[in-house]
Chains A and B, each alone.
Chain A
Amino acid sequence: SQTIHQWPATLVQPVGSPLSLECTVEGTSNPNLYWYRQAAGRGLQLLFYSVGIGQISSEVPQNLSASRPQDRQFILSSKKLLLSDSGFYLCAWRAGDRESDGYTFGSGTRLTVV
């Protein structure tokens, strides 16, 4: 069965420090992968999505970047965090062969920039 792993669960980082959040998917190949951010408890904002290795589409200009070095690995990074980068970060994936399952989300990373 397909599963999605996202870590760490919580993270407290100082302003100006780097960031690396990792997401991996098991049990499928060539999934669409997504990074979302949720601030203030509501309203998920799509940050990046990827349809294949090395293919990244950015939805909003920001202090973050994403990479997909392997088929089932999606990484969210920042060279220097800002206070405004705080939020709940969610990774999601979708495979085209499961018509009724929609998108599957990871458990999320709660990032606090101090």
Chain B
Amino acid sequence: LAKTTQPISMDSYEGQEVNITCSHNNIATNDYITWYQQFPSQGPRFIIQGYKTKVTNEVASLFIPADRKSSTLSLPRVSLSDTAVYYCLVGPYFYNQGGKLIFGQGTELSVKP
């Protein structure tokens, strides 16, 4: 399973764009990259998933370069409610391949007014 490395913490201000980068040098061919958000005393919540290039949904964008050894989660115009821990995970997508998620320490994002 590919190990991920991301910054322990980041600070931002309301209205700014936040980019959180994750390194996964040993990513396998069949691995997908998934980001989760976790608020205190709650379970992680799926944000976005991708395999390569760029993926965008109503919450965030995910940028994956051609070599797939890193990925960047982009949160546009953050608000105070975006203060949370963000996890980058790498693992096989299809359940018949095993599909167990391994979480790293995550990035604690603090958004200030």
Contact = CB atoms under 8 A, between A and B. Distances in A.
Given A51-B95, A100-B49, A102-B49, A90 B103 contact: no
Nearest to A59: B100
A34 B89 CA distance: 15
Interface in B54-113: 85, 87, 93-96, 98-106, 108
A46 B42 contact: no
A94 B99 contact: yes
A81 B13 CA distance: 43
Contact of B93 (A46, A90, A99, A108): A99
Grouping DSSP codes into helix (H, G, I), strand (E, B) and loop, the A interface class, with mixed when no group exceeds half, is strand
Interface string A61-93: 000000000000000000000000000101010
Q: Interface centre among B96, B100, B103, by most A CB within 10 Å?
A: B100
Contacts of A43: 103-106
Interface string A85-113: 00010101011100111111111101000
Contacts, number: 63
A29 B99 CA distance: 16
Contact of B85 (A34, A42, A45, A104): A42
Given A44-B44, A101-B46, A107-B42, A95 B103 contact: no
Nearest to A31: B95
14 contacts: A31-B95, A32-B99, A43-B103, A43-B104, A43-B105, A43-B106, A46-B100, A46-B101, A59-B100, A90-B43, A94-B99, A100-B49, A103-B46, A106-B43
B41 interface: yes
B97 to A, nearest CB: 9
Contacts of A32: 95, 99-100
